[in-house]
Amino acid sequence: MSRIVTLLAALIALAAGFAVYNFWPEEKPEALVYEPPRALKPFTLESTAAGTVENDALKGQWTLLFTGYTFCPDICPTTMSDLKGVIPELQREVSEPVKVWLISVDPKRDDIERLTQYVNYFGDDFVGVRAEHKELFPFVRDLGLMYSIPDEGEENYLVNHSAAIILVNPDGNRKAIFNADHQRGEIPVVSMDKLKKDFAIIAD
């Protein structure tokens, strides 16, 4: 009788384990994930890595796109430094290269030479891209981001811009957006812990 009880207990435990394995809800990313991924409209930008780039430059790699500018005092250098720290961990999750594109939203002051010096400080995985406002604004808007334009003739100014990071998949399509955390008294930046966790789920 005890053998039958033991066997029944084992079968119940096995069935319970099977149910948990098959029906436990999948972990969901906190990022906004686009299903299906969204194609980007045609664009042409200047690049610190390859002269002029178009949509095909995003293919064959995972790309994190971030708006910023070289005169930015807080959000940009913080985010760039944070991304530099997590790139090796993100790279272990995928076979394709992981790159960061800094999209300059200060075309007046960020020429390609200055932008090159800036992104080179962070390493080979970082690329700077720029364009004049008439080409830049539609590209940034298509990503779901924004930036402000200084008044005519203004020399010393800050550029208000989105702090979110866009993830583009190896097909060159927008896959997700990592929004910044807004904590009172702190600059709004994307949590790298959340980004790493979400990236592992999204890229799986």
Binding-site residue positions for Cu cation: 72, 76, 161
Euclidean distance between CA atoms 14 and 32, whole angstroms: 36
128 φ/ψ sector (left φ>0, alpha ψ -120 to 50, else beta): beta
In 74-146, at which residue ranges do the beta strands (DSSP E only) sit? Answer: 98-104, 126-130
Number of CB atoms found within 10 A of residue 181's CB: 13
The gap between the terminal CA atoms of the chain, to the nearest Å, is 48
In 44-139, at which residue ranges do the beta strands (DSSP E only) sit? Answer: 45-47, 51-53, 62-68, 98-104, 126-130
Q: Which residues contribute to the annotated binding site?
A: 72, 76, 161
Number of CB atoms found within 10 A of residue 131's CB: 19
